[in-house]
A and B are shown apart, each in its own frame.
Chain A
Amino acid sequence: MFEIRRTLVGVVTASAGAGALDGLVVPGRAFGCRTADDELMLLSVPQVTDEVVREVSTRLATLDPDALVIDTTDGWATIMVAGGGARSSFGLLSRLELPDAGFTQGEVVHVPAKVIADDEQVLILAPSMWEAHLLDRVTKALGATGRLETREWRVPTP
């Protein structure tokens, strides 16, 4: 059995020269996903997003004075598929090959997405204009397996 969980994730986007991002030490409370040569996405719990912005801005300032570090949490809809069948069921959502543990990006339910996976859970982030689509398609596709544990949940208001 597995479950779909609405998860609030703080997202910070850092745009800077490739060299600067190569040299950046990611703050310990954030998980860094290199989305492009000149772009890094940092995920954290929402409560520390401001700190991540500050720390990354400070660290990058010396490496690339033009660097752009912005809290983009509002731009992302996030859901977590968790449980024993989470990884194997991901094939119903996307043709992406999941890493054993880590980050990949590409289409999930036909929209561009970022995906972070480990042994038992898959975190999916898609641009927030597709939030309803993401929730609907993921729920339907995984619900059809008969292995999805459904629970009442409410979208938390930040």
Chain B
Amino acid sequence: MADGLRFEGRRVTVEPGDTVASALYRADVRTFTRSLKYHRRRGLWCVTGDCPNCMVNVDGDPGVRACMTDARDGQVVVRESGWPSAERDLLHVTDRLHRFLPVGFYSKTFIRPRFVWGLAERAIRRATGVGHLPIGRPASARPARALHVDLLVVGGGVAGLAAAAEAAAAGSRVVLVEERRLGATAWDARVRERIQTLAAEARAAGAEILEHHTAVGLYEGPFVPVVGPAEVLHVEAGRVVAATGAVEAHAVFPGNDLPGVFLARGAALLSIRHGVAPGRRAVVVATTDEGRASAAALRSAGMEVLIHDGPVIAAEGNGRILAVTLGTPSGRERITCDTLVLSLGWAPRDALLRMGTDQEVAGAGDVAIPGCSLEEAEASGRRAANGHDEAPSDVPTVPVGDEGYVCLCEDVSLHDLQQAWDEGWRSSEILKRYTTATMGPCQGAVCGRLLAAFAGARADAVATAGARTTSRPPARPLVLEDLAAGVDEMIEQRTSLHDRHLGLGARMERSGSWSRPTTFDAIDEEIRAVRHRAGLMDVGTLGKFLVAGRDAAELLDRVFPIRVRDLEPGRSRYLVALDEAGYVIDDGLLAALDSGRFYLCTTSGRAPAMEAWLRDWIDRWRLHVHLLDQTAQLGAILVAGPKARAILGRLTGDDVSAEALPHMRHADITVADVPCRAVRVGFVGEVGYELHHDRSRGPALYDALLEAGQVEGAQPFGLGALDVLRLEKAHLYLGQDTLPDDHPAKLGLEWAVAMDKPDFVGKRALERMGALPLERTLVGLRIDGEPRRGVPLLVGGRVVGRVTSCARSEAARGTIALGWVRAVDGSFPTELIAGHAVATVVPTPFYDPEGARLRV
């Protein structure tokens, strides 16, 4: 036997076709939530998912619209706002404190003393809100699926289905998305019947109809994210037909938010579709045909119904409507009732349509022709399918009274809007920002037009004051998991040696998007190995480019500030890359190959940007250059240290002696049967060979080097050791030791710039800056304390710089650092305070300043 859903400890029977809202209403639940600020009772109002009044927690998910959620046995439903409960909410006292909680009060109270705001904010946050995030619950990854269609139809009513059927019959790929089941929000049997017929026609023509799929936004393309039960669709459509319908207009009068006030379609849905009478005695105030027809629906549910077509003056009640005062030709009349049903005009659900301005988006049905007949809706849909863009009809706004709630989501009353206006917030856009009207879960669907009408109607308003506020996604509420669907934050690049590193017990870290070893055991021991024996490091992450073509030398000579034309095959040169402003954007190494080709190595993180940058210059100068990115294709292993040559000697028959392959030269050799380009480099300050090789051969080469290195006491090393080794040589880490506006002179890299060349990128900027005194420079420091990267450098209590790299160095016998300092009174200080230590500016490099160890 079905045991119904669980609602705050009670069992609630679920009938076939029930929503959570209808099941609860049948069980005499009248208060579904409390309002955001004043904790006023909120009950069912639209029953079509357009308002915030029925948001509850379902099975742990907060902010679920009860009227849009199918009820099922075993569901657990809880109301979320109110303290201690939504039914008996002590915070309702705020409804008597309007005078002390004026609009925007949190922007102008609790300002001094400053600590008060911290306390007040905490209290305000606890007292307000419409639900509680399940912080402790693990998030599930929602899949995203791309879908390409000729036509996307949003909305499965008569107009939408007609559009889908028409376009599919013409051979288009058509997908229609409907927020609920087809016909779920239609209470009129004739409409439901037509929906069934058109759905069958659309399906037969090949259209795909996706129920329970909600379009939440519309972006350039048109691109429409659609949230479904199991996945989020990213729909790229040739055209979009928005057949999103209309909701009955919101009317503002005192008591307009009392439970028992319904929109007519909602009241009829409850009565006809769910067999639940909204009350016993209803006053129906209707100016629309559908509203008038709803009276019959209510009568059929057994309600006593009074129909009225004049204005509503006020509704009164205490937690539920008890009477309504209506305007009559003779004045006013007070009628007791427990239900007030309103159908005073239409508010097209045009959020998507308005997001799609200047896009291939057309409206159809009620959204374009509010209140249109069944036949008009169908014709409108078919016209939209054929590319006809229906101009949205002008919708008269329901007159705004003197009192009542405009924004149900954010508890903004007419009084609040007037006060904000009087304070000087005099257009709909800034009224929105100040009062937060239209910024709640309904995103202005209910109140957007009223806000604009209010602003536009002020006597002292400027012409644009009453414009509708901008429509932005999401058009419908969605959960964070939906927003994150398809997002992948952990995209990791790996070298071919990744598994070898793991096998050796490496501790891996993210360096940019690369996964790289920090250390294999102990950083200090790895440093000693490189300084006294040898170390192996995976440098396959470096950017690697082959530059060829008859203009290759010209390109490189014009782009980089080094001399390229005199670089003979077999030689390499360190380079810095400058942008047009003369700032350093990368560094690397350029090796001249045979046949006018060059091999360019860049830093690991900048490789993609360097490729794009070089291609830009190739195109701009119309050079005949072929640039091939070999970063993925080639691996590279650095063998460095006094024993590096001996290790290579065990594995190659080629001559790798200092005479045959000196510092900054390169040669193609074979190591352990693996063809390699061996490049002599010195980033760590010892004899070093970078062995560039085909990626697939990397693991075999690495194994051979490790084995051969065992005899010499070599060991692998990671980024932790490299950081100290390069610091001892005062080699920079771009980005860590540099700032975006560093030119070579600030970094002590003037030697890498051939200013006597006729031209290169950034030269003119360097000439201009060269005429100015340096205001900041990177210096080497010895610190008589513990290394602390990032600490400010002070002189006389004034911050004049910052430590950018810092380490305790065995080879340099103390704590060494790089840091930038500003000039003080025209000269650079030489004694500074770094945290609790004294920092003294010293010459660099800290280790082997003559570079003798590189030339062994």
Contacts and interface: CB of A to CB of B under 8 A. Distances in A.
A147 interface: no
Interface in A51-103: 65-68, 70, 72-76, 90-92, 94-97
A137 B144 CA distance: 12
Contacts of B234: 95
Interface string B369-382: 00000000000000
B569 interface: no
Interface string B556-577: 0000000000000000000000
B695 A74 contact: yes
Contacts of A128: 496, 632-633, 695
A124 interface: no
A76 B696 CA distance: 10
Contacts of A91: 145-148
A134 to B, nearest CB: 10
B694 interface: yes
Interface string B627-657: 1101111100000000000000000000000
B548 interface: yes
Given A97-B148, A97-B236, A133-B491, A16 B143 contact: no
A15 B628 contact: yes
A29 interface: no
B629 to A, nearest CB: 8
Contacts of B492: 132-133
B147 A129 contact: no
Given A128-B496, A157-B696, 14 more contacts: A15-B549, A17-B624, A66-B550, A70-B628, A74-B695, A97-B148, A110-B488, A110-B491, A111-B491, A127-B632, A128-B633, A129-B495, A132-B494, A144-B143
B694 A74 contact: yes
A70 B546 contact: yes
Interface string B678-708: 0000000000000000111000000000000
6 contacts: A15-B548, A38-B626, A72-B630, A74-B632, A92-B146, A133-B491
A136 B375 CA distance: 52
Contacts of A17: 624
Contact of A94 (B143, B146, B626): B146
Contacts of A90: 146
Contacts of A133: 491-494
Interface of A: 13, 15-17, 38, 65-68, 70, 72-76, 90-92, 94-97, 109-111, 127-133, 137, 141, 144, 157-158
A29 to B, nearest CB: 22
B532 interface: no
B280 to A, nearest CB: 51
Contacts of A141: 143
A70 to B, nearest CB: 6
Interface of B: 143-148, 231, 234, 236, 488, 491-496, 498, 514, 546, 548-550, 624, 626-628, 630-634, 694-696
Contacts of A76: 632
Contacts of B550: 65-66
A123 to B, nearest CB: 17
Nearest to B223: A95
Contacts of B695: 74-75, 128
Nearest to B541: A129
B430 to A, nearest CB: 37
Contacts of B146: 90-92, 94-96
B599 to A, nearest CB: 12
A92 B628 contact: no
B150 to A, nearest CB: 12
A146 B541 CA distance: 36
A92 B143 contact: yes
Contact of A16 (B494, B626, B627): B626
Choose among A94, A97, A129 the residue with the greatest number of B CB atoms under 10 Å from its CB. A129
A105 to B, nearest CB: 14
Contacts of B491: 110-111, 130, 133
Contact of A132 (B498, B627, B634): B498
Contact of B493 (A130, A137, A158): A130
A75 B630 contact: yes
Nearest to A17: B624
B628 A13 contact: yes
B31 to A, nearest CB: 40
B227 to A, nearest CB: 15
A74 B633 CA distance: 5
A92 B514 CA distance: 25
Contacts of A127: 631-632
Nearest to B549: A66
Choose among B144, B550, B633 the residue with the greatest number of A CB atoms under 10 Å from its CB. B633
A64 to B, nearest CB: 8
Contacts of A70: 546, 628
A15 to B, nearest CB: 4
Q: Sort A-B residue pairs by CB-CB distance and give the 6 closest, nearest first.
A: A75-B633, A15-B626, A127-B632, A75-B632, A129-B493, A95-B146
A104 to B, nearest CB: 12
Contacts of A97: 148, 236
Given A70-B546, A75-B695, A111-B491, A129 B632 contact: yes
Contacts of B498: 132
Contacts of B549: 15, 66, 68
Contacts of B628: 13, 15, 68, 70, 72
A126 to B, nearest CB: 9
Contact of B145 (A13, A16, A92): A92
Nearest to A13: B628
Nearest to A70: B628
Nearest to B487: A110
Nearest to A111: B491
A72 B633 contact: yes
Nearest to A129: B493
A144 B147 CA distance: 18
A10 to B, nearest CB: 12
Nearest to B234: A95
A109 to B, nearest CB: 7
B626 A67 contact: yes
A92 to B, nearest CB: 5
B37 to A, nearest CB: 41
B144 A92 contact: yes
Contacts of A158: 696
Given A75-B695, A92-B145, A15 B633 contact: no
Contacts of B546: 68, 70
A137 B488 contact: yes
Choose among B493, B496, B548, B550 the residue with the greatest number of A CB atoms under 10 Å from its CB. B493
Contacts of B624: 17, 66
A95 B633 contact: no
A40 to B, nearest CB: 11
